[in-house]
Amino acid sequence: MKNQQHPVVASIDVGTNFIRMMIAQINPDQKIVPLEDLYKPTRIGRDTFSHGRIEVDSIYETCETLQGFVNTMKDYRVKHYCAVATSGMREAQNCEYALELIRLKTGLKIRQINNAEERFFLYKALRNNLPDVQRMRQEGFIIVNLGMGGVETSIYAQGSLKFTEYVMVGSLRLREILADLERLTLDFPSIMEEFVESKFYLLNENIKQHQVKNFVGLGGDLSTLSNLFRRKKLTPDGRFIEKRALNKFYSEVRSKTTDELIQEYRLHRNEAEIILPSLSILSYFIHLTEAGGIHLPPVSLRHGLLEDQVDEWYDTSRKHDFINDIISSVRFLGKKFHIDQPHSNQVEKLALSIFDQTSRLHGLGGRERLYLQVAAILHDIGKYINLTHHDLHSYEIIQNQDLMGFSTRELNLMANVSRYHSEQNPLMSHQSYHDMSETDRITVSKLAAVLRLADALDISHQQKVEQVQVSFSGRELHLKVRSRDAVLLEEWNFGNRTGLFEEVMGYKPMLKLKSKPLVK
């Protein structure tokens, strides 16, 4: 790809309320230049949130829309594309059937992404489309990612991610949940506000304590709001809405029906139905902050998918910045469950050191290294629930998190690495391990073997080991350890933890103690 001049690529978002596609050109300076941005309403989310399944007619309508997109891609001679489906498709009981029918009818391979992946792509798009984003990162700002199926809030301060939570109450889902009540009351907006507060109140203290002065809104819902504010001259460009303008417009919308919104603002019904819940959620959050208004950068999931392709092709510096954000969010999760921070840091350091020095044995790459790092940070997180079988509890906690940037498959992989960090070996009788692909099972076993050695070297939780140097001799792996104190307990525990490594890697780990500093 690096040698191809001006490649034309596409990103497709099979969303909950709309199906969208962006075709863009990637310039030699890695800038993305949009060429086409198409969208069409869909009933996917309404079907899923109301009935749990996507109706067959909706699937065929989706196929027709996507076939039109495919034809446009052919006109532009697009060779590379990324197509994803979000909550409306992902949560449908017949999701797999729908995606397979789409593949057969259109040739498109659509990947389901979870909330954490969606957020990750949106944040990538945000970096290049929000003025003063670096200043905001230092000052602190909240991002409210308002989706159709759920809302994710994240807080940045001192340049790093401090807090993130996802609540499964998005604008369209909120409307569908309360649909019956709307017909029973003349003050439906107040009912909606009460429901919103009941779902988000646990976030109040976390948001207030950070004294947030900057507010950023993301999500497909907000482009409609941005256009409305611009048309009503409440904002010059639709990219920043003052709090008082938001309050004024929300007060106006509260008194109108969906049909009145359609007629007065010339909206499609899909757009009109989400105006009230979107404003209700935004109004709730902005009043928890000290922000004077909401930034609405012109970014979408489609932009983020394109930015991600650029990062992978050109290995940009931004790619590494986001890895730092991922690790920051993982550390936040660890603090939330009161992990032993010094022990976690020590195991992380030792595990990565061993991994880097044994690359010729495991043959794994940078992504797998990241899996190991996350598993090392969180390996003891299960102790929050119970000290007995804490490794299994660690697995359950990690598997059920929305860690930014990781797919459901990757979360399961890291959860399994953490599960096997102690004494229990991976077994085919363990359902979660059995259900993984052969490649992922091998990856889990290799990473768990490395993590097990690192954890053994800090079994006392006193961070005695200062450095590890790896060397090879025949079929032995020598770990020369420099420590600041006696490590008799670590030696004993290490000897009990080498079996998995030897079986998976083919080398028997041997611990060698050094009293003098190792030469780098």
pLDDT digits (tens, 9 = 90+) for 243-271: 999 999 999 999 998 999 999 998 888 88
The answer to whether the CB of 449 falls within 8 A of the CB of 374 is no
φ/ψ of residue 166, rounded to 5: -120, 135
pLDDT for 325 equals 81
Burial class (CB in 10 A: 0-12, 13-18, 19+), 506: exposed
DSSP 192-245: HHHHHHHHHGGGHHHHHHTT--EEEEESTHHHHHHHHHHHTTSSSSSSEEEHHH
pLDDT for 404 equals 84
Domains with residue ranges and CATH for the chain: 8-114 (3.30.420.40), 130-298 (3.30.420.150), 316-514 (1.10.3210.10)
CA distance 300 to 125: 7
For 486-492, the CB contacts below 8 A with 24+ separation are 487/457, 487/513, 489/459, 489/460, 490/456, 490/457, 490/458, 490/459, 490/460, 490/464, 490/465
Q: How far are the Cα atoms of 195, 334, 395, 486, 493 from residue 460, in angstroms, in the given order?
A: 48, 19, 22, 11, 10
pLDDT for 1 equals 42
pLDDT for 375 equals 97
Residue 517 pLDDT class (50, 70, 90 cuts): very low
Residue 519 pLDDT class (50, 70, 90 cuts): very low
Q: What average pLDDT does this structure show over 489-509?
A: 93
Residue 225 pLDDT class (50, 70, 90 cuts): confident
Size of the chain in residues: 520
Q: Take residue 163 and report the two structure tokens written for it.
A: 């807090």
The answer to whether the CB of 289 falls within 8 A of the CB of 213 is yes
Q: Give the rounded percent of residues in the chain with a pLDDT score beyond 90.
A: 60
Q: What average pLDDT does this structure show over 152-165?
A: 80
Task: Using the Cα atoms of residue 264, residue 265, residue 266 and residue 270 in order, give the sign of their dihedral.
Answer: negative
In this structure, the strands spanning 151-157 and 141-146 are antiparallel
Q: How far are the Cα atoms of 110, 353, 478, 507 from residue 489, in angstroms, in the given order?
A: 51, 21, 18, 23
CA distance 118 to 404: 8
Q: What is the DSSP letter of 250?
A: H
pLDDT for 518 equals 47
The answer to whether the CB of 66 falls within 8 A of the CB of 85 is no
Residue 462 pLDDT class (50, 70, 90 cuts): very high
pLDDT for 223 equals 82
pLDDT for 506 equals 94
Which segment of 24-38, 216-230, 412-426 scores lowest on mean pLDDT? 216-230
- pLDDT of residue 2 exceeding 60, the answer is no
pLDDT for 222 equals 83
Residue 48 pLDDT class (50, 70, 90 cuts): very high
Q: Take residue 447 and report the two structure tokens written for it.
A: 């990473």
Q: What average pLDDT does this structure show over 476-483?
A: 93
- pLDDT of residue 516 exceeding 60, the answer is no
- pLDDT of residue 323 exceeding 60, the answer is yes
pLDDT for 5 equals 61
Q: What average pLDDT does this structure show over 496-515?
A: 90
Mean of per-residue pLDDT scores for the chain: 89
Burial class (CB in 10 A: 0-12, 13-18, 19+), 273: buried
CA distance 278 to 289: 17
Residue 286 pLDDT class (50, 70, 90 cuts): very high
Residue 124 pLDDT class (50, 70, 90 cuts): confident
pLDDT for 220 equals 67
Residue 515 pLDDT class (50, 70, 90 cuts): low
pLDDT for 237 equals 79
pLDDT for 359 equals 95
Q: Give the rounded percent of residues in the chain with a pLDDT score beyond 70.
A: 97
Q: What average pLDDT does this structure show over 339-360?
A: 96
The answer to whether the CB of 319 falls within 8 A of the CB of 121 is no
pLDDT for 314 equals 79
Q: What average pLDDT does this structure show over 210-225?
A: 84
Burial 86-118 (b: 16+ CB within 10 A, else e): bbbbbbbebbeebbebbeebbebebebbbbbbb
Q: In what side-by-side order are the strands of the sheet with 18-26? A: 32-41, 18-26, 8-14, 80-85, 111-112
pLDDT for 403 equals 87
pLDDT for 4 equals 47
Amino acid at 15: G
Amino acid at 248: K
Say how many C-beta atoms besides its own lie within 10 A of residue 180's C-beta.
8
The answer to whether the CB of 338 falls within 8 A of the CB of 384 is yes
Q: What average pLDDT does this structure show over 441-447?
A: 97
pLDDT for 95 equals 96
